[in-house]
Amino acid sequence: MQSRLRHLLLGSPLPTQQLVHERLNKVRALAAFSPDALSSIAYANQEIYLGLVIAGSAGLSLALPVGLAITGLLILVALSYFQTIHGYPSGGGSYIVARENLGTLPGLVAAAALLTDYILTAAVSLTAGVAAIASAFPALWPHRVVVSLALLVVITLLNLRGLRETGTLMAIPVYLFLFTYLPMLAYGAVRFLMGGPGSLTAASFPPTEPLTAFLVLHAFSAGCTALTGIEAISNGVPAFQPPEAKNAGQTLMVMALLMGLLFLGSVGLTQGLAVVVGPQETILSALARRLLGSGPAYLLIQTSTMLILAVAANTSFAGFPRLAALLAADGFLPRQLTGLGDRLVFANGILLLAAATGGLIVVFSGDSHALIPLFAVGVFMAFTLSQTGMIVHWRREGGRGWWLKAAFNGLGALATGTTLLVVGVSKFGQGAWITILLIPTLVMGFLQVRAHYRDVAQQLSLRGLPPSLKPFPVPRVVIPISGVHRGIVDAIAYARSISKDVTAVYVELEPGAGERIREKWEHWWPDVPLMILPSPYRSVVGPLLDFLDEIDSQHSDGQLATVVLPEFIPARWWENLLHNQTAWLIKAALLYRRRHLGFQRTIIDVPHHLER
């Protein structure tokens, strides 16, 4: 039943040899790597608007200048990554570039920033996508958390299944987005040129805050999230058809051009047409509504926005598990993250990402605006580290004109580093502090994990063990019983088959119950001693552990008694809830109580299956 459901949702297991690497042409590669970058204009626009509107119409008149500044940064970062692609044709994610050129610690900082970013990309994209569709259907607005989570579940299941068969499917939202947005922006530009600019009545937009330089910086730093995703191509160079670096570089340039067009076009039109918006709509939705009315064309725009944002969230599901597996292979994360599941995907990484994303959506009430301050810090930290790493890379590589390449990446590092500072300071109180605290915490975690694995490897070495290993003497056995019934018959028989020294133990929760048990016991197993233990605090585990310690101390051979547990196995899974899980409690207590050095206590589970 359970496995049939699993089969239906996730498909049947795939053998290892099906793991192949498909190469992408430029058109498909653009669709594969650009959703995050292109879709980020949706929330970046929203952030600029929200950042400036509090200063009233004077604030909103600065949207285009802020947008131009961000576009300048975009060009710089795109050129820097163009160089990274040529420097690391085998794939230069920030983790690899920073670790190889700057050392392990900066590499881990970049990795921590990236992992955080992947989670936030998923959370921000999903919530922004739901906001886009809820702008069209206001009835959905109060249910954004639930809708976002439902979308998350669908994406998670698709990824656990493995997305190979849907690769082409993913291209549709990207091109749909381009082929609806670009014409809309062109149409808007025509309308603007023919009809002239709109005007905001200052009266309807009273400023709630004065227009300060800080406020503008604030809007700028939030709007910088337009750049997220631009690094995706540099991570994935090997997926391109040869010549990989050349094709990837060209694709990057096309993507950056599209990003700039979409971003500047929508910011410019919003300001030019004096579009404003209420609390339950996005600014892009309001722009589309102004241009297209509320009919099918508008709905198509909102749907394509939601779809590309969902696909953008999906890119995290490719990146996060892969980076986590890379870190796990290097010993910085739990090893389970390296394991390909039976559908040839990093299932544990996918589940981890889904859980973290879901948590963020719930905690931040499905509001992308609240998540943005956390987001921007990580993005620009990874950018800065990667660019700085590239400077070192070019210097090491040397060759003709290395300093020119290094200077270019240096300019990128300077720009992204400055932005990082601006974001960190201006958004600190609104959530950037969380990321700023989280990244060093993650790095410390990475280091501790690696220290643990190294330590264990040393402990497990067989070196120094005496060459002839002699067997233990036959064990002493203790059986805790919950009563005299058929469920313990097999356990007692098993115990007696492996040892002559068997003692049964009954923990008496109600005074007097012990004597009734003893009577029955002596009828069935007169030759096995039964101990009755009182329990004034109604705990089964406490008196049992004390008894075990006592009999161990009575023997001076250093051996610990074995515990045989009779365990109920119901026929249906839900029936497990109906039986006292005392066996599990005892096991947990025995396993995790490290009272003794040397040889630890062994547990034998003898199941008793219930019929029907």
- Using CB under 8 A as the binding rule, the residues of this chain from 294 to 353 that contact a second copy are 334-336, 339-342
**Tokens 């290094």 correspond to what residue?**
406
Name the residue nearer to a second copy (CB basis): 12 or 201: 12
Provide Rg for the chain, Cα atoms. Answer: 32
Name the residue nearer to a second copy (CB basis): 203 or 469: 469
Q: Are 95 and 110 in contact (CB under 8 A)?
A: yes
With CB under 8 A as the contact rule, the residue among 6, 456, 550, 555 that binds a second copy is 456
If one asks whether residue 365 binds a second copy (CB under 8 A), the answer comes out as yes
If one asks whether residue 552 binds a second copy (CB under 8 A), the answer comes out as no
If one asks whether residue 612 binds a second copy (CB under 8 A), the answer comes out as yes
If one asks whether residue 573 binds a second copy (CB under 8 A), the answer comes out as yes
Name the residue nearer to a second copy (CB basis): 21 or 612: 612
Name the residue nearer to a second copy (CB basis): 9 or 404: 9
Which positions from 163 to 192 touch a second copy by CB under 8 A, shown as an x/- string?
------------------------------
What are the residues facing 562 on neighbouring strands? 477
Which range, of 52-60, 187-195, 418-426, 532-540, touches a second copy by CB under 8 A? Answer: 532-540
Q: In angstroms, what is the minimal distance from the CB of 506 to a second copy?
A: 16
Q: In angstroms, what is the minimal distance from the CB of 353 to a second copy?
A: 16
Which range, of 108-116, 167-175, 218-226, 448-456, touches a second copy by CB under 8 A? Answer: 448-456
Residues 16 to 75 in contact with a second copy, rule: CB under 8 A = 16-17
In the chain, % helix, strand, coil (3-state, to 5) comes to 70, 5, 25
Name the residue nearer to a second copy (CB basis): 383 or 494: 494
Backbone angles phi, psi at 15, to 5 degrees: -70, 155
* Per-residue tokens: 229: 């995703």
Name the residue nearer to a second copy (CB basis): 41 or 492: 492
Task: Please measure the distance between the N-terminal and C-terminal CA atoms of the chain and give it in whole angstroms.
Answer: 16
With CB under 8 A as the contact rule, the residue among 537, 553, 554, 556 that binds a second copy is 537
Q: In angstroms, what is the minimal distance from the CB of 338 to a second copy?
A: 10
Looking at residue 240, the DSSP 8-state letter turns out to be B
What's the gap between Cα 447 and its chain centre? 19
If one asks whether residue 141 binds a second copy (CB under 8 A), the answer comes out as no
Secondary structure (DSSP) of 303-341: HHHHHHHHHHHHHHHHHHHHHHHHHHHTTSS-GGGG---
Name the residue nearer to a second copy (CB basis): 418 or 576: 576
Burial 575-610 (b: 16+ CB within 10 A, else e): eeeeeeebbeebbeebeeeeeeeeeebeebebeeee
If one asks whether residue 4 binds a second copy (CB under 8 A), the answer comes out as no
If one asks whether residue 496 binds a second copy (CB under 8 A), the answer comes out as yes
If one asks whether residue 602 binds a second copy (CB under 8 A), the answer comes out as yes
If one asks whether residue 577 binds a second copy (CB under 8 A), the answer comes out as yes
Which range, of 40-48, 78-86, 105-113, 572-580, touches a second copy by CB under 8 A? Answer: 572-580
Residues 238 to 267 in contact with a second copy, rule: CB under 8 A = none
Tell me the C-alpha distance between 123 and 525, whole Å: 62
Tell me the C-alpha distance between 91 and 97, whole Å: 9
Residue 213 CB contacts under 8 Å (≥ 6 apart), including other chains: none
If one asks whether residue 591 binds a second copy (CB under 8 A), the answer comes out as yes
Kindly give the pairing relationship between strand 562-569 and strand 477-481. Answer: parallel
Q: In angstroms, what is the minimal distance from the CB of 30 to a second copy?
A: 33
Q: In angstroms, what is the minimal distance from the CB of 336 to a second copy?
A: 6
Tell me the C-alpha distance between 345 and 318, whole Å: 9
Name the residue nearer to a second copy (CB basis): 115 or 273: 115
Residue 258 CB contacts under 8 Å (≥ 6 apart), including other chains: 34, 38, 178
Which range, of 33-41, 83-91, 266-274, 460-468, touches a second copy by CB under 8 A? Answer: 460-468
Which range, of 126-134, 263-271, 550-558, 597-605, touches a second copy by CB under 8 A? Answer: 597-605
* Per-residue tokens: 396: 């090491």
Name the residue nearer to a second copy (CB basis): 199 or 461: 461
Kindly give the pairing relationship between strand 530-534 and strand 477-481. Answer: unpaired
Tell me the C-alpha distance between 125 and 498, whole Å: 60
3-class SS at 605? Answer: strand
Residues 461 to 490 in contact with a second copy, rule: CB under 8 A = 461-462, 465, 469-475, 484-487, 489-490
- Of residues 72, 404, 23, the one with CA closest to residue 260: 72
If one asks whether residue 525 binds a second copy (CB under 8 A), the answer comes out as yes
Q: What is the largest CA-CA distance in the chain?
A: 104
